[in-house]
């Protein structure tokens, strides 16, 4: 049985992710410290809360060093969810803390003003898979709809295009999923996205 480490940095509500993963034949390890991740086969980083407090929690609990060693250098499969995707960038308009820096650029806040969509982006939205070689979306058949809750987004730009597996349109087109070698991340919540989300989690657990 493979083991999956779920990163707990003291702020995220990880219960919904745990509940979803309990549907699969895996051993779950809720890692409150980075050193608890060394023995697991795969790592999931759920993200709820603010960018700065989240990054501070990751650093204080030793998760940043563990991710550098085990995932970014060591090749262990990783899945970031929601804020867990945004942490992978250099930073965010939401705060001043440095991100993990695996992807270039900063996450931005959705524009406000007359005619702009309501912020936060909350609810079901269509997602378009744009990477033919995507592993995360390989078992899914369009049209694809997932559940989102967020106020900041990762830009879909020339810097991120080669790593972007899927996009979403919400007043503008932004990156909804990333894939880079062993690192996968989604802005939406697969654990709250019913059958499509559960299929994606299954793909991450069994195919990657």
Q: What is the pLDDT of residues 141-184, one digit of tens each?
A: 999 999 999 999 999 999 999 999 999 999 999 999 999 999 99
pTM of the model: 0.97
| Residue 189 among the catalytic residues | yes
| Residue 191 among the catalytic residues | yes
Of the residues 63, 121, 150, 189, only one is catalytic, namely 189
CB 176 within 8 A of CB 187: yes
Question: For the chain, what is the domain count?
Answer: 1
6, two tokens? 């779920």
Cα dist from 21 to 3, 27, 47, 154, 164, whole Å: 11, 9, 16, 26, 25
pLDDT at site 12: 67
113, two tokens? 């003003």
Half-sphere exposure of 26 (CA within 13 A, CB side): 25
CATH assignment of the domain containing 11: 3.40.50.880
Of the residues 63, 107, 179, 191, only one is catalytic, namely 191
pLDDT confidence band for 67 (50 / 70 / 90): very high
What residue numbers bound the domain in which 32 lies? Answer: 3-207
126, two tokens? 């269509």
Of the residues 63, 82, 121, 150, only one is catalytic, namely 82
* pLDDT, tens digit, 9 for 90 and up, residues 35-56: 999 999 999 999 888 999 999 9
* pLDDT, tens digit, 9 for 90 and up, residues 90-107: 999 999 999 999 999 999
Question: Which backbone phi and psi does 64 adopt, to 5 degrees?
Answer: -65, -45
pLDDT at site 119: 94
Residue found by looking up tokens 């007359």 in the block: 114
Whether pLDDT at 79 is above 70: yes
Question: Which backbone phi and psi does 163 adopt, to 5 degrees?
Answer: -105, -5
pLDDT confidence band for 190 (50 / 70 / 90): very high
């Amino acid at each position: 049985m493979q083991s999956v480490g779920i990163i707990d940095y003291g702020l995220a509500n990880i219960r919904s992710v745990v509940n979803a993963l309990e549907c699969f034949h895996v051993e779950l390890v809720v890692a409150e410290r980075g050193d608890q991740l060394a023995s697991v086969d795969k790592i999931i980083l759920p993200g709820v809360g603010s960018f700065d407090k989240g990054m501070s929690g990751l650093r204080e609990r030793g998760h940043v060093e563990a991710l550098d060693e085990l995932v970014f250098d060591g090749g262990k499969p990783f899945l970031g969810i929601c804020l867990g995707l945004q942490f992978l960038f250099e930073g965010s308009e939401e705060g001043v803390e440095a991100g993990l820096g695996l992807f270039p650029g900063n996450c931005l806040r959705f524009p406000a003003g007359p005619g702009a969509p309501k912020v936060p982006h909350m609810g079901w939205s269509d997602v378009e898979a744009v990477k033919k070689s995507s592993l995360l979306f390989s078992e899914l058949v369009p049209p694809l709809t997932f559940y989102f809750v967020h106020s900041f987004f990762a830009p879909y730009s020339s810097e991120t295009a080669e790593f972007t597996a899927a996009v979403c349109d919400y007043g503008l087109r932004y990156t909804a999923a990333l894939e880079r070698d062993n690192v996968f991340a989604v802005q939406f919540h697969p654990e709250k996205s019913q059958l499509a989300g559960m299929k994606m989690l299954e793909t991450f657990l069994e195919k990657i």
